[in-house]
């Protein structure tokens, strides 16, 4: 299997080619975990680096993420069948009162690309919903997104609700256009990431800390 060609198809956001090569790998009997780890994830890692260096922008990143996501969807059932589960789970959502989800979706896709299991709670997620989902899914990391200055306080409320509910040992990371490291420190979040690629780096650091 030519994993480099699959990497390149993801980087180029060529979803037809990515899906064709993924199917080819499946037909050849390539181990599904290798398809993910050697074929798809490195492609998204390249995209993440390019994005961080401003060599590409959000549209290219979304197109690449879509190619990766659709290929990943083809492999997912095989992974489940083989009993191979992502090592870590991330719970993610846009906080209460906030309906912006493009950035949050990018973070979720990039996390999936890095082989995190992702439970996406969507938009306008109440603190209680985060608490309930954390108890149900037992994530290793929880990601809160906010795009409005007026919804930033909902991050604080969510972190407080998690603490009050006794959800311990889970790292909380936050992000979104108005968020800063200083705000993360202020509200007791475990980390802040300015973009989707950094969010993956941060999540990986937090879960292995
Ligand atoms: Co709204 N909106 N919007 N909007 N909107 C902004 C955010 C705004 C800055 C526009 C402006 O005035 N210049 C402004 C906020 C001002 C402020 O609070 N200071 C604003 C406003 C005011 C509003 C409304 C109040 C408008 C109104 O109704 N009067 C309203 C609020 C609705 C609500 O949420 N309750 C509103 C509505 C909307 C739409 C529904 C029309 C639409 C959202 C569609 C959607 O998301 N499905 C929308 C949009 C598209 C925007 C802008 C134009 C673009 C946001 C976006 O998607 N950016 C935005 C202006 C702007 O940012 N230029 C604006 C692209 C996206 C990839 O970036 O989300 O920043 P971003 O995500 C990045 C990082 O921030 C980071 O990684 C991502 C990828 O690199 N990141 C994380 C995000 N989440 C993360 C989580 C992490 C880590 C990193 O860890 C968990």
How far apart, in whole angstroms, are the C-alpha atoms of residue 171 and residue 206? Answer: 7
In three-state secondary structure terms, 71 is helix
Helices (H) then strands (E): counts for the chain? 10, 5
Q: What's the pLDDT at 83? A: 67
In three-state secondary structure terms, 191 is strand
Bridge-based pairing of strands 116-120 and 88-94 is parallel
Of 134, 201, 204, 141, which Cα lies nearest the Cα of 162? Answer: 134
CA dihedral 37, 41, 42, 43 (to 10 degrees): 140
Q: Quick one: pLDDT band at residue 115, thresholds 50, 70, 90?
A: confident
Ramachandran angles phi, psi of 88, nearest 5°? -125, 150
Residues of the chain with pLDDT > 90: what percent?
74
| The domain defined by 3-81 carries CATH number 1.10.1240.10 | yes
Q: Is the pLDDT of residue 19 over 90?
A: yes
Give span(s): CATH 3.40.50.280, the chain.
88-208
Site to substitute for ligand 1 among 146, 147, 199, most atoms within 8 A of C-beta: 147
- For ligand 1, whether the C-beta of 102 sits within 6 Å is yes
For the domain made up of 88-208, the CATH class stated in words is alpha beta
Give span(s): CATH 1.10.1240.10, the chain.
3-81
How far apart, in whole angstroms, are the C-alpha atoms of residue 195 and residue 170? Answer: 21
Question: H helices of 82-151, where?
Answer: 102-113, 127-137
- For ligand 1, whether the C-beta of 193 sits within 6 Å is yes
- For ligand 1, whether the C-beta of 91 sits within 6 Å is no
Q: Which atom of ligand 1 is nearest to the CA of 197?
A: 80
| Contacting residues for 178 by C-beta, under 8 A, at least 6 apart | 146, 147, 148, 149, 152
Tens-digit pLDDT profile for residues 123-172: 999 999 999 999 999 999 999 999 999 999 999 999 999 999 999 889 99
How far apart, in whole angstroms, are the C-alpha atoms of residue 70 and residue 57? Answer: 20
Tens-digit pLDDT profile for residues 46-97: 998 998 899 999 899 889 989 988 998 898 888 767 767 788 999 999 999 9
Own/partner pairs, 158-161, CB within 8 angstroms, 24+ separation: 158/95, 158/96, 158/127, 158/130, 159/187, 159/188, 159/189, 160/127, 161/127, 161/128, 161/130, 161/131
């Amino acid at each position: 299997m030519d994993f480099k060609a699959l990497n390149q198809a993801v980087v180029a956001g060529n979803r037809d080619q990515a899906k064709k090569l993924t199917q080819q790998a499946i037909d050849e009997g390539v181990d599904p975990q290798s398809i993910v780890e050697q074929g798809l994830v490195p492609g998204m890692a390249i995209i993440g680096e390019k994005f961080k260096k401003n060599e590409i922008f959000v549209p290219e990143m979304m197109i690449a993420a879509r190619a990766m996501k659709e290929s990943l969807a083809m492999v997912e059932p095989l992974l489940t069948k083989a009993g191979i589960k992502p090592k870590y789970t991330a719970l993610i959502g846009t906080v209460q009162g906030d309906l912006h989800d493009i950035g949050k979706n990018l973070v979720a896709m990039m996390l999936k690309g890095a082989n995190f299991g992702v439970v996406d709670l969507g938009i306008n997620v109440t603190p209680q919903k985060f608490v309930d989902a954390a108890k149900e899914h037992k994530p290793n990391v929880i990601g809160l997104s906010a795009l409005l200055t007026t919804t930033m306080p909902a991050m604080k409320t969510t972190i407080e609700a998690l603490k009050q509910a006794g959800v311990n040992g889970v790292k909380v990371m936050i992000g979104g256009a108005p968020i800063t490291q200083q705000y993360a420190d202020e509200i007791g979040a475990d980390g802040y990431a300015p973009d989707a690629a950094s969010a993956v780096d941060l999540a990986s650091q937090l879960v292995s800390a």
